[in-house]
Every structure is written in structure tokens, then in C-alpha cells.
Amino acid sequence: MDEQLFFKKLNNLCTSKEIFYFLSSLEVMSDTMASGALQRISEVEVDDNGLKNPGLFENEVFRALCFQFEFESSKLSSTGLLNALQALVKLRIDPQSTLMTRLLSESEERLGRGQLTAENLCALGESLLELEGPSCVMLEQIVNHMQERDMKRWSPREIVMVYKILQVTVREGKQCQNLLNRLNSVTLYIVSQLSPNSLSVILNSLVVLRQTQAVPLVTALCKHSVKHVPYFTDHELVNVLEAFQYFGQKLQIFTEALERHVPKSICTMHPQTVSKVMQYCCKKMILSKPIFDAVAECFISSADRLTTDQIAAYIIPFGTLNYLPPSASSLFRKLETVLHTRLRHFQPHTLLNLLHSCVLIQRYPINFLPKIFSPYFLQKLQGQPPGLNRDVMSQLTQLFLTVTLECPFYEGPKLLSKYQVKAFSMPQSSPDVHLFKRVKTGLLHLLKKRIYFASEVSTPYFYVVDIEIKLDEEGFVLPAAQLEEVHRRIALCVDGQNRFCAHSHNLLGEEAIKQRHLQLLGYEVVQIPFFEIESLQNTRKMADYLQKKIFPCTYGQSN
């Protein structure tokens, strides 16, 4: 049969049974046709879960094909040899079998003699990468042969294959940075030709090879990934999200693409992929209500099937970004049910992070706090990385302060003082220096003397107040150092962009709970958000604004 007709008929067959019936009707096949048949069998019989029908190895036609390749390996064309090898690797044939040993040995000989075309080198490289424990010597030989050709003429498939080989053989790019620099430059010009899989593979390789200097390529790949979001597999999307995080990329159009894709696909997405989407949003401070609302609904219906780490990954961003979805009551009812049945399965630090995120949004895990404050649990926290460092002790202290201030009915164990910090560790909430300076200049203009306000004041309640103003009983401003006759304390929260979700006026959870607690501790909290003062052009306007915010009752009266 003519090869063109053969492949046309073969590609229309959808089961191994149909393929075997078709092959048995032929008297003669070239090795290219036989290897094509093996490739088609591997396409229809292998999916994400592995081999569909292990019984196919006992089929007489399949055994005959393998027999031909095993005993005539030296007579095969290079294309037939390497396509057969690729198909058999995909079918998970034992790498130690005589068949595979002979095919690999013949491939290695031809590689050494320089007999393989670029297409052959790609097929061999992909096969070796698929095998467990790839032969680094052969992979390096492939890269060396590839470099003999003009890199500018490489196809996308060749470029992807070399990235994958370097990822396996080098791990860090230092050993072959010159080659990588050339490869990165060439890849930049073919980004628009890359398939979703190729784009994902290259981004993953750049992460593994730590190519932080390849900014133009990374930026181009990330921009190009936007249009592929609906077509990425779960694994590919995870690779892309990890690259966005590793390289510090944040594109609004990528977030919008995720917002269109995730809500309608979440029911079929792997939980690990959903976890990665939420971690990406949390890390980048992106409050995407369409994604968060969909994840909340998904959690309510599928929480019982999630691992403890996935449960934490789904829920923690709600607290971090200070957002309650429309289904909040059902969401946290489901979380409580899951915690009741699976509490002992959580790693200590995962459980602490989860419960701490809940209190940020006023969801109080009262039933589980006796465990958190128990000496046994605290010892477990100390015994696992990162141990009881300052951040962990800040979380414990904030949990304890929350139940003290917001849950007076709690009668369980208290957190011992040795586990409490003197001041919370809130590095993300440090004041915006430029904004802080402008507010202080405006206050000085308003109050006339610097003694009437204090900045970055440590309180006995673990929080640091940005600016504190003290008033007496009649409402007059007192010197900041005065301790007697203080009737009111005003806490000015100078909230720069770093205290809000990205492109949003929504306070982050850490800042929201701080302002809530300061109010419960007797402060009058006055929020000075960046978006209200960035347009104020001079000190007089700033002072006018501050008087209106801090002293609304006297605003407009003559001094």
C-alpha cells in the first residue's frame, strides 16, 4: 500500500482493535509505516492515567511489530527506528527489555556517527527525557549536534526539546549560560509561533534554569500566554502561574483571562491547579471576585475530596485579601465541618495559617483554639520548620488578642506569655515613606508644633500606630508626651498602596484587623488612604484635608 494512503487510513482509526485489524490485512509494510502504526496505537491507548488496555501487549499483530523492530534494528531507517522508540516509551514498555535495549543501543551508535537529522535528534531527545533516569551523556551529545546547526533555523520543536534537555542535565544555567543566552535570544523571535504546551515548557525551563536575566523573553512569553489561558492543560497552567510568580510578572490582561476561564472551568480543573490559581492571586494581592466566588462555591461542594494543603490554599487568600464571598456563611460552615472531621490530619503550621486567616475576616474558630493554645500543639509547631519564629508567634498572639477582644465568651486555654510577641511582625504594612512624610508635613501645618503628634507609636497591645494624637476632655490637643488627662486617643492610619489589594480600595486582612482592634482598644481610628490624598497638590490642601478628617466637628471654624 502507498504510504500516503496508509497513513490517511491509519489516522482515521480510533481503537487498537481497529488498527490491528487494518494491519493484519496488509501483506507488506515499510518500517516507517510500522513505526507510524505503533505511534497511532500509543495515541489511542495512552491517556493522562496511563495505559488503557494492558492486554494489547499480548496481541499477535503487536508482538509481530515489536519482533520486527527488535531483530532488524540495524536495518531500520533512522525515522522508523526513532518513531518506534518514541511510541514504545509512551506505551511504557520496560526500558530493560531486549527490545528497548536494542533500539536505544542502535540510536546511540547512529548518534555517535552523526547520522541523525534534526527531526531524528528531536525524537531521540524526547524519548530519553520520557524515560526514567535519562542518559545525560546521550542528551548532551544531542545538544552538541544541535549546536552544529544554525540556531536561527531551529524549529519551535527543536528549541523546546533543547530547553527540556538543559533543564534535566544542567538544572542551573551557570554551566552553559552562553548557550542559554543564544537560545533565549532566538526564542524571543518565535514566541508567537509557540503552542500552549511549548510555551508552558519553556517558561518552566526558564524557572528551573533560573534565567532571571532573560527579561525580554519572559515578558514576551507571559504576554503571549494570555491568549492560551483557555487551552492550557492543568499541568501547563500551573507551570505558567509558577513562572509569573518566580519572575515577578503581573499582567492585568492575564488576570482578566483567568477571570474568564476559571469560573466556567473550575468544576473540571484539578484541585492542585485551583490551589495554584489562589496562591497566585494571594501572592500578587489580586482580589478577583469572579475567581474567589467560584472557588468558594467549588469548596462548598467538593471540600471532602481535597487534601489538607489544598483546603488551606483555597481558604487562606480570603483572609489575606479581606474578602467575604456571597456564599460566606455556607463556605465557613463547610470549613468547620471539615475541620471537625480532619483536624488531626493538618500539619501544625498549615492549621495555624488557616485559622489565623479566618480571624482576619471575623470568622472565629472558637472550637479549635483550645488545641492551638495547648502546650502539645505549640511543641509540634516548634519542632517543624520554620518553628516558633517571630512571624509564627505574631500569628499566635493575634489569634489570642482576637478572642480576648472579639470573643469575650471564650473560656478555653490562654496563650502563655512566653509565646506572645511584644509587637506584631507586619512587614507588608510598613508605612509608605513618601506618603507618611506628606501627612506629617500637613499635620505640622495644621497643629503648628511637632510636639502635638507622635509617629510610629508602640502600644501595649502589640500594634504600632502610624500617628497618634491625644486630646483632653474638652477636645484640645495635648503634647504627645503627656500621660495625664488624656481623654481621647486618635490613631491615624496612613494607608499606602501596599496596604490594599492590587488596583483596589479593599484593605488587606492584616490592616483591617489592626484597625478593628485599635478601635476595640479605645482608639478613634482615622483612615488616611493614599487614593484620597494623592491628588492634594500642596501642604495647605493637605492640612485642610486632615482637619476635615480628624476634627470634623470644628472643620470650617476659624482657628
- Phi-psi category of residue 271: left, alpha or beta, with phi > 0 → left and psi -120 to 50 → alpha: alpha
Is the CA virtual torsion 493, 498, 504, 507 positive or negative? negative
Residue 556 in this model has a pLDDT that exceeds 50: no
Go through the chain and tell me how many residues it has.
Answer: 559
In angstroms, the first-to-last Cα distance of the chain is 102
The mean predicted confidence, pLDDT, of the chain is 92
Residue 427 in this model has a pLDDT that exceeds 70: no
The string of pLDDT tens digits covering residues 367-401 is: 999 999 999 999 999 999 999 999 999 999 999 99
For the chain, give the percent of residues with pLDDT over 70: 97
The whole-number pLDDT of residue 53 equals 85
CB-based burial label for 36 (10 Å; 0-12, 13-18, 19+): buried
Average pLDDT on 17-44 reads: 92
Average pLDDT on 87-115 reads: 92
Average pLDDT on 97-103 reads: 93
User: Between 428 and 227, whose confidence is greater?
Assistant: 227
Residue 534 in this model has a pLDDT that exceeds 80: yes
The whole-number pLDDT of residue 206 equals 96
The whole-number pLDDT of residue 554 equals 67
How far apart (Å, rounded) are the C-alpha atoms in residues 125 and 143? Answer: 9
pTM of the model: 0.85
The whole-number pLDDT of residue 245 equals 95
The whole-number pLDDT of residue 161 equals 85
How far apart (Å, rounded) are the C-alpha atoms in residues 205 and 199? Answer: 10
Beta-bridged to residue 468, according to DSSP, are 454, 491
The whole-number pLDDT of residue 171 equals 59
The whole-number pLDDT of residue 248 equals 93
User: Residues 278, 299: contact at Cβ < 8 Å?
Assistant: no
To the nearest 10 degrees (0 to 180), the angle between helices 509-520 and 348-360 is 60
294 closest CA partner among 323, 322, 265, 321: 265
User: Residues 293, 327: contact at Cβ < 8 Å?
Assistant: yes
Read off the amino acid at residue 152: K
The whole-number pLDDT of residue 263 equals 97
- b or e along 84-123 (b: 16 or more beta carbons within 10 Å of the residue's beta carbon)? bbbbbbbbebeeeeebbebbbebbbebbeeeebebebbbb
522 to each of 57, 184, 359, 487, how far by Cα in Å? 77, 59, 20, 10
- All three cell numbers of 426: 507586619
DSSP state of 500: B
Domains of the chain (ranges, CATH numbers): 1-115 (no CATH), 433-550 (3.40.960)
The whole-number pLDDT of residue 424 equals 85
The string of pLDDT tens digits covering residues 508-518 is: 999 999 999 99
| Lowest pLDDT segment from 94-108, 194-208, 419-433 | 419-433
Residue 130 in this model has a pLDDT that exceeds 50: yes
Q: What is the CA radius of gyration of the chain?
A: 32
CB-based burial label for 383 (10 Å; 0-12, 13-18, 19+): exposed
Grade residue 174 by pLDDT with cuts at 50, 70 and 90: low
The whole-number pLDDT of residue 559 equals 41
**Residue located via cell numbers 490491528:** 20
Average pLDDT on 219-228 reads: 97
The whole-number pLDDT of residue 558 equals 39
Helix (H) or strand (E) holding 298: helix 289-302
Beta-bridged to residue 527, according to DSSP, are 493
Give every CB contact of residue 433 below 8 A, 6+ residues apart in sequence. Answer: none
